[in-house]
Amino acid sequence: MNLLREYVRELITEDVSFLELDSPLTYTRSSNVKRLAYCDSSVTEPPKRWDPYFREYQEIEYFGKRGRKLKKPRKGKIVPGVSDVCIIGFLDYHADGKTSEGKQIWYIDYIKTRSDARYKGVASKLVDEFFSRYVDPDGGYVQFGKMMRQEIGHLQRKMEKKYPNAHVTGRKFY
């Protein structure tokens, strides 16, 4: 029975992979932001509705540089979408220096899941993969940054428990 269960698990996870890319988004905190993307090759359709950061879209500016409301709104910058349809979630991160002991400090800039793939554990799998790839379990440093949703706070607490020797922090804004 266990052999059958392992075979089924292999089949299910066969079409899932993690891609390392450069982030197309611009961040004020750092210019060398990398992206860890969750790619499910069984997904072949783009999002059906508007989904920020998964479909390219044009921002509209309603206010001028001095803060005054414009008579006619104008086109702003184009926000890029993901490079491949199979990407259903991503985690943007960058190295934020080193400690006095020489340990790497990681900063998680942004975590996003496609709207039709929410609440399926995609963000949790991304965070688990990020920690297993980059974070030193014996004293690594990870800053979750400004956490805007309770779900991200839950992931941060989960990683604190899973890696008790690592320093995992974040600021709650929810």
Buried b / exposed e over 49-66, threshold 16 CB at 10 Å, is eebebbbeeeeeeeeeee
- Let me know: does 57 contact 50? Beta carbons within 8 Å: yes
User: For the segment 42-65, what is each residue's pLDDT rounded down to a tens digit?
Assistant: 888 888 778 889 998 899 999 999
Q: In the predicted model, what is the mean pLDDT of residues 91-111?
A: 94
Residue closest to 56 by CA, chosen among 81, 77, 86:
81
Task: Say yes or no: domain 12-172 is CATH 3.40.630.
Answer: yes
pLDDT in tens, 8-53: 665 555 588 999 999 999 999 898 999 999 999 888 888 877 888 9
Instruction: Please report the sign of the dihedral spanned by the C-alpha atoms of residue 50, residue 53, residue 58, residue 64.
Output: positive
Quote the distance between the C-alpha of residue 34 and its chain's center. 10
Reported as a single tens digit per residue, the pLDDT across 76-96 is: 999 898 988 899 999 999 999
For the chain, give every domain's residue range: 12-172
